[in-house]
Amino acid sequence: MQPTLNELRQAMTSKVRLTVLAVALLGVSANAGWAEEGPFPVRLNPRLMLESVDDAAIGVRLRGPLWPDWPESGGLELFRLAPHPSDGPFVSFEERIVDVKVANSCIELRTLSDVGYEGRFRNDWEVQRGLLRQCEVIEMLRDVREAQFSYVQDFVLTAEAPDELSPMIDNEAMFFRLCDGYIANDRSIPWSTFDKIVEVEVHSPFDIHVWAEHAVLKDDFGNELPVGAVTVVWLWAWGDFTGDGVEDVLVETISQAAHWSGPGRTPPWLARNSFGGLYVLTRMGSDDVLKVADADKYLTNESLDGKSCDR
């Protein structure tokens, strides 16, 4: 028997709580320690397919193919639909199509998305949302600067990364967990203390999948049912995003609710009911937690379901 939403809430609210990149990319040895004095040039995940962060290069990338390594892909097909009738007979997707366009670049994707164009199926919506976030990353690089000091020069994604990361980046969060994560971020409580980290799959220094247990419930037969989320974390860039001279890291995460029994877990398939976001993470000491910068902006009425979030 599956737990009810109220059981999940009661169980969760009771609980508050990196392989090395190539030397050519990082510019430092994995054993170089924490050289805090710079300057530290901006470094990027190669997946962004950017030659540099100057305005001209960013403009070319935003106007170029959505998938630069697959320019013949044809872009992303998007649909503008008539509103679904509130009553009366069912109207199929095809009958509601008002217009069809193809987004071939970040600029076209943003323009069409802003006026309501969307993918046909749920997986297409997720591709659209993911591409929009990647385009936002590229836009954010217009304002990134060379850092003068760094406590993240050697940071990459490893199995130990949750010991350094804020729990706020696990964004499979109903309002009560978002508040708890916000408080933990403010108090420099790491993700691995806030939640039980069940497993970390390291796909690359830029990409990990984290299984985090939020609570353990019991069914009517007394069987334990660990519940939580699987979160994919991408590391996109190092640089000064906040203008204080200190090097930050920019990450994207996508989380999906998950539950499992025994050693078996559902695969990290994030096409349904997943939540994504971009976070600038920073710290002022090599042993500090990487905290979400400007954390208040994530406490929107929508994300909090209209509830208050008190520290």
Q: Which residues contact 308 (CB under 8 A, 6 or more apart)?
A: none
DSSP state of 73: G
Q: Final residue of a domain: which of 90, 105, 140? A: 140
**Whether residues 79 and 218 fall in one domain:** no
**Whether residues 214 and 237 fall in one domain:** yes
**Whether residues 234 and 291 fall in one domain:** yes
Q: What is the pLDDT of residue 250?
A: 98
Q: Final residue of a domain: which of 89, 117, 140? A: 140
Q: What is the pLDDT of residue 261?
A: 65
Q: What is the pLDDT of residue 219?
A: 76
User: What is the model's pTM?
Assistant: 0.83
**Whether residues 82 and 115 fall in one domain:** yes
Q: Would you say residue 229 lies in a domain?
A: yes
Going by C-alpha positions, the residue among 292, 290, 296, 293 that lies closest to residue 310 is 296
Q: Final residue of a domain: which of 140, 166, 199? A: 140
State the 10-residue block means of pLDDT for the chain, 311 residues long.
Answer: 41 35 37 61 95 95 92 89 84 92 96 95 88 96 96 96 97 77 95 96 97 86 85 97 96 88 54 77 94 92 74 63
Q: What is the pLDDT of residue 273?
A: 59
**Whether residues 216 and 284 fall in one domain:** yes
Q: Would you say residue 145 lies in a domain?
A: no
| Domain housing 216 | 1-40+152-311
- Phi-psi region at 58: left, alpha or beta (left = phi > 0; alpha = psi -120 to 50): alpha
Q: Would you say residue 49 lies in a domain?
A: no
Going by C-alpha positions, the residue among 260, 156, 138 that lies closest to residue 203 is 156
Exposure on the CB side of residue 42, measured as CA atoms within 13 A: 21
